[in-house]
Structure 1
Amino acid sequence: MSGLAQQIFRTSTYCRLACWRHPSNIRYHNTLSTRKGRIGHRFFQNLASENEQKAQKNVPASTSTPGTSNPLGPPQVTAAQERRSNWRMVKNLMVNVWPRNDWKTRGTVILGFAFLVSGKVLNVQVPLLFKQIIDSLNLPIDPSSSATVWTIAGATILGYGAARIGAIVFSELLNAVFANIGQRAVRKVARETFEQLLNMDMRFHLARQTGGLTRAIDRGTKGITFLLQAILFRIAPTALEISMVCGILTYKFGWDFAAITAGTLAAYAWFTIRTTSWRTQFRRDANKADQRAASSSVDSLINFEAVKHFNNERYEVAQYDKHLRDYEQSSVKITTSLAFLNSGQNVIFSTALTMTMLMAAQGVVNGSMTVGDLVMINQLIFQLSLPLNFLGTIYRELQQNLLDMEVLFNLREDNPPIEDLPGAQPLDLPVDAGKSIRFENVKFAYHPSRPIFTDLSFTIPAGKRVAFVGPSGCGKSTILRLLFRFYEPSSGRILIGDQDISQIQLASLRKSIGVVPQDTPLFHADVMHNVRYGNLEKDEFDVIDAAKKANVHEAILRLPDGYKTKVGERGLMISGGEKQRLAVARVLLKDPPILFFDEATSALDAHTEAELMKNISTALLHKSRTSIFIAHRLRTVVEADLIVVLQDGRVAEQGRHEELLRKGGLYHRMWQQQQAAAELLEVEEPAN
């Protein structure tokens, strides 16, 4: 028996080494190790590419304090709700893998599953052929005979090698076939999510930090990639292999071996699922801390000038470190609970493997089984240990990635509150024939306790220059947001001609309005792209012509690379005055019938402002555009055809500059105050 025991030991050791060195297992182990390494460095990914939108004025500041829950974070849900949510996400994702009416993609999926089945059938044949080799070599051999390894087990050995090679080849073919399908599905989901975010209204974006949104998309798309790989390359193959192994054990050795194997797998799965569900909350807490850390760091880096102006570097570092500490605490819980999970899994599987080995060894002693049978049982069951071990890891990673995908799919399912109504028509507004704009009894509030407009009514005549002035916070810029349909009024109507803008297609409405904002948004690209962004169909000569009209062409030529100069993130590489003139050039290139200037010259000196306003006036008169000016400095709107003065959510007075001065009302007082301030400044300058 000692020789028999040594033979069994050597054969079992070989089986373990053969299984561990299977290329697919080595590759997957390396993939998991790399992935876990990336998780530890999440805080420092993509910070340079994220752009934080500033909070709009007139919008109430968030009442949340650092450390409060992120609005992106999922709400607390029950286990049943979580399962339904997970299945819904998997179902939505599978629609992209098995698209309707796309028979080319479906044919590729069928081919991939054919490779999957073929590979697993050959993989199960390996222990069967190995058993035959051992039994053949274990038979008594006459020393005087001319028998060789080729005559005794040559064909079986070749079959064994062919089965192993074939299993590997089919596995690699499966990887190649599904690579294109998986990446196409990820691309489609990411594109649709990004499009959804761009279609959301201003309330949505002001309530969320860009750092958290970009991190959610990044983690969600990575989660999709992992989920597809787990289902296609691990879960489905393992389930198929378990079914075949249980069938072989039942057929060859009876139900007891299969029952132990099936019972072990059920106990393994139950323990893994229950323990992982308990650990899920730790991962959820870590994700929230990760999101808060990302948002905090991006916010600080984007507003680094404000941080330095107020000498608050230590405060920002302390806030960031607080979120890192929360992540650290959650990560420690994740690691310690993982040790408990791994230990329980190993105890369950090792117990089952020991039981089957005892039963098989007893069969060898009784003569009802051969040494090859014992080795085959050992190899079949041990062959399941590797995918089961990875399956436990996959389930843990799957839970994490489903949590990451949860935010992504919630964003996809969040319907834009402002969208085209059924039967919406395009705006009938030719460029060379304007129409009046009317606000009729408009009421609006960003927050119910802070009404902006209580009963606002006015008319902007077609083709005229109309200015809105008034105290800070009276709602001047809100007029643009309502006209552009960033928000909907609570009551009243806004009409262009005879068309209610709520019945107009959004794309058509916004195409007809050009905006020069006070805070000019610029992309991290060259000057040429930033100006051409107003109309991407225009060529380089049109861009230069618009820059000349905006009185910024000479300034651009003085830049290091002219029109190819990068303006830096948010345009930090150029001055505020140059940014505003680039915005004017951009809107002139768009050439819309309605122009809206929201304090568009606030960053310019008096001479440049006068020159720019002269060029703008020439452009307006050329096509009789309707133009709307939001102004704080009243001297910039003295030439307006109509000046509307706002106060307390209503129109206080309106008329031309001279008329309003004669009335002696609010406009007259504002004019006198600004003139007195300007005279005082002129007196102080010579003294300095």
Structure 2
Amino acid sequence: MSSADWDEDDPFEEQREKIDNPMQRLVFEYGRPYWFSVTSGITASVFARLLDLIPPILLGLAIDAIFLQDRPFNLRFVPSEWLPTEQADQFTLTVVIIALSFTIGAAFHWLRNWGFNAFAQDIQHDVRTDTYDKMQRLDMEFFADKQTGEMMSILSNDVNQLERFLNDGLNSAFRLGVMVLGIAAVLLTINPQLALVSMAPVPLIAVFTYIFVKKIQPKYAAVRSSVGEVNSRLENNLGGIQVIKADNTENYESGRVEDVSRKYYDTNWGAITIRIKFFPGLQIISGIGFVLTFLVGGYWVFNGAPGPFSGELGVGEFATFILLTQQLVWPMAQFGQIINMYQRAEASAERIFGLMDEQGRIETDVDAPDLEVDEGRVEYDDVTFSYDEEEVIVDDISFDVPGGETIALVGPTGAGKSTVLKLLLRLHDVDDGAIRIDDQDIREVSLPSLRQSMGYVGQQSYLFYGTVKENVTYGTFDASEEEIVEAAKAAEAHDFIQNLPDGYDTMVGERGVKLSGGQRQRLCIARAILKDPEILILDEATSDVDTETEMLIQRSIDHLTEERTTFAIAHRLSTIKDADQIIVLEGGEIVERGSHDELIENDGLYAHLWGVQAGEIDELPQEFIERAQKRTARTQARRGGD
């Protein structure tokens, strides 16, 4: 599969295309607070590599000046009167200097590694936390077409890719840069003519590397996208493992995992193919410099200056050239590895900053005043909303809920009930109209104060990995032990909690898998009771439990709804028949409203839905059945296109 094909599948393609110079932004935006560590690393890298050059230089000097005595014993930058004149003393001084260079160099190498590691780890931490913070603050529309595995890939794999480059890649770049420049300077000082021979492959390496970068960059962008698809498939399958086992679809799912893994394999292999051609080629080009140096320098030592060259070349100088040229060849070959790491990191940085720069549809004002709830009166005023600006989900609805009353929203699947309440929570913003709480437009108050005033109990009773106590106090972290127990008792949860192995300290498992559906639901209700919100939202809070558990949960809800404004969605109409007001939705519009008795007497949609649940199917009008068939087909078509 080509990189173009993968871009079409990349859910973050639109975000990536907006990002320019992501690596420059990474270093300057996130690296500035940590200038000390990276400066320490760079400085130490310079001194460490310069000290590494001392042994081969002194070895050449020792061969020519001490052993062969072909030239005087001189050390650059050291006055000659400071140097010993006896051969043994010169040898001893050389050994001492070499030993000191290794010892001091080791200290600088430690400081270099500390500086770059600290720099990389600090940036990795900041980028990961900032990316997560930005992600969780985006509105729900962003998450509609993104899978958990794809976002986990950014938070984990992409952020780790940056850390690898900032630590290993940046560290190596400075280390090799100093090494190449230092060696080049030394070689030019010893013999400029032979130094040009040693560095002859450098222009070829530059051209070869440029071609590699142009070819590998789109490949790595495709690889990063394919990693997200693999993670998404694995996350979905592990999350649905019970369904897979119950439906005996292990072979089918293994095939789907094999498909996405094969796509990743093909994409990654495309990058690997380029990479495994590049590095051997780079080594061959780099090796040319060593071979030429050995050939020309060896001939020079035996027979004098060859061809256009002039002057003399000592045995010790030749030995130094050979040692340093070998050290020059390997760093130049390693530059390819650094560029390879850079390209991987740049692809990851594009995805990270593309996510960070994502703009949601919900606009918030940091200076907005807090919501002040007095009566808890809620007003929907000509509210219209659509997810994609094409199909209207909520169409020009208006109703008032007096403070302290309970209003129920009912209707067939896809009628817009949950969307109406998501608008109240500002998980989405209305397209037209307004929602007010005690005459305050919810778009003009601070978002935290709005959501703090509301308690939400949904059909999916989500529990976090942790203890029972931690889940009950989630959002009300400063609650006392007495308040926690009272909330649990009001939610009819205290008795079963006491029977758990460790009571309130019992671990509930990931997503509460160690508890039954009814137990999880009652813990969520206890959480809402502990929060003591002015406005309560119940979204099918008893739809997934048995009749006996429903009775217990309903008792909990009765405690919870006392003297507070309550919105309730229910498919089981028996649970909301005592609501102060029932609003019936169909196709995003309000088609009926009134009390249970009034709506039954009206013999409209509500009465027909009640008849379905009462088992009076044969008595339903044909028109209602035909409309139900159309609604079901429309809902299934919408889900199929999602």
For Structure 1 versus Structure 2, the TM-score category normalised by the shorter chain is 0.7 to 0.9
Query: Aligned with 2:126: secondary structure?
Result: helix
How far the C-alpha of 1:660 sits from its partner, in A, is 2.6
Contact 2:116 2:166 in 1 (8 A): no
Over 3 Å counting, the alpha-carbon distance change for 1:76 and 1:605 in structure 2 is closer
Contact 1:427 1:499 in 2 (8 A): yes
How far the C-alpha of 1:588 sits from its partner, in A, is 0.7
Over 3 Å counting, the alpha-carbon distance change for 1:98 and 1:67 in structure 2 is closer
Are 2:425 and 1:484 aligned?
A: yes
One-letter code of the match for 2:10? Answer: N
User: Any residues of structure 2 matched to 1:170-181 within 5 Å, and which?
Assistant: 170-181=108-119
1:466 aligned to which of 387, 391, 407 = 407
Query: Aligned with 2:583: secondary structure?
Result: strand
How far the C-alpha of 1:152 sits from its partner, in A, is 4.4
Q: Find runs of 4+ consecutive structure 1 residues off by over 6 angstroms.
A: 65-68, 74-77
User: Any residues of structure 2 matched to 1:521-670 within 5 Å, and which?
Assistant: 521-621=462-562, 624-670=563-609
1:504-561 deviation digits (Å, cap 9, x = unpaired): 2111111111100011111122222111114111133322211110111112223333
Over 3 Å counting, the alpha-carbon distance change for 1:273 and 1:173 in structure 2 is same
1:164 aligned to which of 102, 106, 121 = 102
Aligned to 1:110: 39
Aligned to 2:315: 371
Aligned to 1:391: 335
Contact 1:516 1:597 in 2 (8 A): yes
One-letter code of the match for 1:177? Answer: G
Q: Distance in 1 between matches of 2:437 and 2:314?
A: 91
Over 3 Å counting, the alpha-carbon distance change for 1:580 and 1:511 in structure 2 is same
Are 2:140 and 1:202 aligned?
A: yes
Aligned to 2:461: 520
Over 3 Å counting, the alpha-carbon distance change for 1:184 and 1:408 in structure 2 is same
Query: Aligned with 1:629: secondary structure?
Result: strand
How far the C-alpha of 1:263 sits from its partner, in A, is 4.2
Contact 2:378 2:403 in 1 (8 A): yes
Contact 1:550 1:581 in 2 (8 A): yes
User: Any residues of structure 2 matched to 1:55-134 within 5 Å, and which?
Assistant: 69-72=9-12, 85=20, 87-99=21-33, 105-134=34-63
How far the C-alpha of 1:261 sits from its partner, in A, is 4.4
Over 3 Å counting, the alpha-carbon distance change for 1:340 and 1:611 in structure 2 is closer
1:307 aligned to which of 244, 269, 280 = 244
Q: Distance in 1 between matches of 2:272 and 2:120?
A: 30
One-letter code of the match for 2:211? Answer: R
How far the C-alpha of 1:276 sits from its partner, in A, is 4.1
Q: Distance in 2 between matches of 1:486 and 1:217?
A: 23
Q: Distance in 2 between matches of 1:601 and 1:272?
A: 63
One-letter code of the match for 2:459? Answer: Q
2:160 aligned to which of 212, 222, 225 = 222
Q: Distance in 1 between matches of 2:260 and 2:597?
A: 59
Aligned to 1:188: 126
Question: What is the aligned residue count?
Answer: 594
Q: Which moved more, 1:331-340 or 1:434-443?
A: 331-340
Contact 1:133 1:157 in 2 (8 A): no
Q: Which moved more, 1:206-215 or 1:113-122?
A: 113-122
Q: Distance in 1 between matches of 2:67 and 2:182?
A: 27
How far the C-alpha of 1:158 sits from its partner, in A, is 1.6
Over 3 Å counting, the alpha-carbon distance change for 1:152 and 1:645 in structure 2 is closer
Aligned to 1:268: 205
- Matched-pair identity in %: 29
2:280 aligned to which of 338, 343, 348 = 343
Q: Distance in 2 between matches of 1:647 and 1:96?
A: 51
Q: Distance in 2 between matches of 1:509 and 1:558?
A: 37
Contact 2:289 2:329 in 1 (8 A): no
Over 3 Å counting, the alpha-carbon distance change for 1:291 and 1:643 in structure 2 is same
Contact 2:459 2:541 in 1 (8 A): yes
How far the C-alpha of 1:614 sits from its partner, in A, is 3.6
Are 2:613 and 1:674 aligned?
A: yes
Q: Which moved more, 1:352-361 or 1:540-549?
A: 352-361
Contact 1:300 1:316 in 2 (8 A): yes
How far the C-alpha of 1:422 sits from its partner, in A, is 5.9
Q: Distance in 2 between matches of 1:177 and 1:286?
A: 30
Over 3 Å counting, the alpha-carbon distance change for 1:608 and 1:300 in structure 2 is closer
Runs (5+) with no aligned partner, structure 1: 1-64, 100-104, 142-146, 681-688
Query: Aligned with 1:458: secondary structure?
Result: strand
Over 3 Å counting, the alpha-carbon distance change for 1:322 and 1:643 in structure 2 is same
1:347-367 deviation digits (Å, cap 9, x = unpaired): 211212222233333443327
Contact 1:443 1:492 in 2 (8 A): yes
Q: Which moved more, 1:574-583 or 1:557-566?
A: 557-566
Query: Aligned with 1:340: secondary structure?
Result: helix
Contact 2:6 2:225 in 1 (8 A): no
2:257 aligned to which of 311, 315, 320 = 320
Contact 1:202 1:486 in 2 (8 A): yes
How far the C-alpha of 1:197 sits from its partner, in A, is 1.0
Over 3 Å counting, the alpha-carbon distance change for 1:439 and 1:75 in structure 2 is closer
Contact 1:130 1:160 in 2 (8 A): no
Over 3 Å counting, the alpha-carbon distance change for 1:221 and 1:66 in structure 2 is closer
- Please provide the CA RMSD for this pair: 2.8
How far the C-alpha of 1:274 sits from its partner, in A, is 1.3
How far the C-alpha of 1:596 sits from its partner, in A, is 0.5
Q: Which moved more, 1:185-194 or 1:328-337?
A: 328-337
How far the C-alpha of 1:240 sits from its partner, in A, is 2.2
Q: Distance in 2 between matches of 1:289 and 1:205?
A: 19
Contact 2:394 2:420 in 1 (8 A): no
Aligned to 1:289: 226
Over 3 Å counting, the alpha-carbon distance change for 1:214 and 1:385 in structure 2 is same
Q: Distance in 2 between matches of 1:66 and 1:514?
A: 42
Query: Aligned with 1:447: secondary structure?
Result: coil
Query: Aligned with 2:537: secondary structure?
Result: strand
How far the C-alpha of 1:219 sits from its partner, in A, is 1.4
Over 3 Å counting, the alpha-carbon distance change for 1:668 and 1:390 in structure 2 is same
Contact 2:216 2:343 in 1 (8 A): no
One-letter code of the match for 2:532? Answer: D
Runs (5+) with no aligned partner, structure 2: 71-84, 305-310, 620-642
How far the C-alpha of 1:66 sits from its partner, in A, is 12
1:58-99 deviation digits (Å, cap 9, x = unpaired): xxxxxxx9997131357897xxx9xx83x3323323432222
How far the C-alpha of 1:638 sits from its partner, in A, is 2.3
Over 3 Å counting, the alpha-carbon distance change for 1:121 and 1:674 in structure 2 is same
One-letter code of the match for 2:29? Answer: V
Contact 1:66 1:319 in 2 (8 A): no
One-letter code of the match for 2:598? Answer: E
Q: Distance in 1 between matches of 2:476 and 2:495?
A: 22
Q: Distance in 2 between matches of 1:458 and 1:597?
A: 18
Contact 1:74 1:406 in 2 (8 A): no
TM-score normalised to the size of structure 2?
Answer: 0.86
Q: Distance in 1 between matches of 2:416 and 2:292?
A: 79
One-letter code of the match for 1:540? Answer: E
Aligned to 2:631: none
Aligned to 2:369: 425
Contact 1:67 1:292 in 2 (8 A): no
Over 3 Å counting, the alpha-carbon distance change for 1:333 and 1:467 in structure 2 is closer
One-letter code of the match for 1:628? Answer: F
